[in-house]
Amino acid sequence: MDEVKKRFERLKRQLNRKFNKNKKSKNRTKNREHSQAVVKKKRPQPRERVVPIKEDIQAKSRLKEEQARKNPPTNKKRKKKKLTKEEFEKRKKKKRKESIIEIVKFMLPVVFFAIFVFFFILNTSPHMVDGDSMKPTLLNKDRVIVRRTKEPKRYEVITFKPPVKSDFQYVKRIIGMPGDLVWTEGTDLFINHQAESLPKSSEFSAASELPDGTIKINVSEDCLNQMSQLKKIPKGHYFVLGDNRNNSSDSRAFGLVDGQAIEGVVSFRFAPFDNIGWIK
């Protein structure tokens, strides 16, 4: 019996040892797995602190205040450099040149447009007055714009090539139009655009008996010879006079003007500048 007990105790010890060994090995493997899992897990990074916008603004304002305290603003005005007379005059000239250039730049397109309108659209041409025959309407060396038209009207100022030798064109006012009644008495020429028939020969010298609208003009022998043969001014011909009757060579001297010799009607005076305007 004693031997059996001893064997049983031995077996029990052996079993306990094996059981303890298995338990220890299992614990070791668990510990290893746990340590590996802990290593694999990353530590959470610390969150960045979000600073509100108001705090940034306040901080900036504080910095500005500190800088202003350290470096206070200087109230000293910069001293202007005194210019000499020569430098001052140079600057003046520069400013004048710049202003003139600006005016020229602005005026050039306007001038070109006006030239285009006058010479191409309105069919005009420039002309210079020579002499004082149209005084006071036009003076010597006045520069005018002539508008070319086919049929000028009564009392308009025209330019034309005279039927006498001359290097210049004449500037006169139309008094007699085609169809006007004309008659002569002595050295006097009578023109009327209102009457329907010539007055009787006995009424020629009586001014009170003359028809309304009759113009009496003292003419030369050449003009008298031409006009005495007519009862009406023929078609396409005009009788012209200068406004300055005492100093004008006009139809009183050379007779009627052919319409084909007329350049155009004087419409505008562009020089001198102090007398610019439309011509009537």
Torsion over CA: 202, 205, 210, 215 (sign): positive
User: pLDDT: is 85 or 2 the higher one?
Assistant: 85
pLDDT at res. 168: 87
Residue 41 pLDDT class (50, 70, 90 cuts): very low
Question: What pLDDT was estimated at residue 38?
Answer: 47
Residue type at 235? K
Mean pLDDT, rounded, for 27-38: 59
**Which of 90-94, 135-139, 140-144, 158-162 has the weakest average pLDDT?**
90-94
SS3 content of the chain, % helix, strand, coil (to 5): 45, 20, 40
How confident is the model at residue 148, as a pLDDT? 83
The pLDDT value recorded for residue 39 is: 47
pLDDT in tens, 42-61: 455 555 554 455 566 777 77
Nearest residue to 183 via CA among 191, 195, 175: 191
Counting residues of the chain whose pLDDT is more than 70, the rounded percentage is 72
Q: What pLDDT is recorded for position 153? A: 93
> CA-CA distance, 204 to 200, in Å (whole number)?
7
Confidence of residue 197 (pLDDT cuts 50, 70, 90): confident
Tell me, what DSSP letter sits at residue 262? E
- Active-site residue numbers? 133, 172
Mean pLDDT of 57-76: 68
Residue 101 has pLDDT above 80, yes or no: yes
Q: Determine the average pLDDT of the residues in 56-79.
A: 66
> Residue 248's pLDDT is what?
93
Q: What distance lies between CA 76 and its chain's CA centroid?
A: 47
State the first-to-last Cα distance of the chain, in angstroms, to the nearest integer. Answer: 169
pLDDT in tens, 150-159: 689 999 999 9
Q: 266 pLDDT band (50/70/90 cuts)?
A: very high
The more confident residue out of 144 and 150 is: 144
d(CA 241, CA 215): 12
Quickly count: other Cβ atoms within 10 Å of residue 224's Cβ: 18
Q: Which residue has the higher pLDDT, 80 or 140?
A: 140
pLDDT at 181 over 90: yes
Confidence check: pLDDT of 182 > 80:
yes
Which pLDDT score, from 0 to 100, does residue 118 have? 63
> In the beta sheet, which residues pair with residue 33?
none
What pLDDT does residue 80 have? 61
Is the pLDDT assigned to residue 37 strictly greater than 70?
no
Greatest C-alpha distance within the chain: 204
